[in-house]
Chain A
Amino acid sequence: GAVVSQHPSWVICKSGTSVKIECRSLDFQATTMFWYRQFPKQSLMLMATSNEGSKATYEQGVEKDKFLINHASLTLSTLTVTSAHPEDSSFYICSALTSGMSYNEQFFGPGTRLTVL
Chain B
Amino acid sequence: GESVGLHLPTLSVQEGDNSIINCAYSNSASDYFIWYKQESGKGPQFIIDIRSNMDKRQGQRVTVLLNKTVKHLSLQIAATQPGDSAVYFCAVSSGAGSYQLTFGKGTKLSVIP
Contacts from A to B (Cβ < 8 Å): 1, 4, 6, 32, 34, 36, 41-46, 49, 93, 95, 97, 103-104, 106, 108-111, 113
CB of B108, distance to nearest CB on chain A (Å): 8
- CB neighbours (8 Å) of B99 from chain A are 32, 34, 49, 97, 103, 106
- Across the two chains, which residue of chain B brings its CB closest to A32? B99
Contact of A93 among B34, B43, B100, B104 (CB under 8 A): B43
Which segment, of B14-22, B44-52, B74-82, faces chain A? B44-52
CB of A94, distance to nearest CB on chain B (Å): 8
Of B43, B46, B104, chain A has the most CB atoms within 10 Å of the CB of B43
Given A110-B42, A110-B43, does the pair A104, B34 have CB atoms closer than 8 Å?
A: yes
- Across the two chains, which residue of chain A brings its CB closest to B5? A43
Given A103-B99, A104-B49, A106-B99, does the pair A111, B104 have CB atoms closer than 8 Å?
A: no
Contacts from B to A (Cβ < 8 Å): 32, 34, 36, 41-46, 49, 89, 93, 99-106
- CB neighbours (8 Å) of A46 from chain B are 100-102
Evaluate contact between A108 and B43: CB separation under 8 angstroms: yes
Evaluate contact between A49 and B49: CB separation under 8 angstroms: no
Evaluate contact between A43 and B43: CB separation under 8 angstroms: no
- CB neighbours (8 Å) of B93 from chain A are 103
- CB neighbours (8 Å) of A97 from chain B are 99
Evaluate contact between B32 and A103: CB separation under 8 angstroms: yes
**Cα(A110)–Cα(B93), bound, Å:** 22
CB of A15, distance to nearest CB on chain B (Å): 23
Given A108-B43, A108-B45, A111-B42, does the pair A43, B101 have CB atoms closer than 8 Å?
A: no
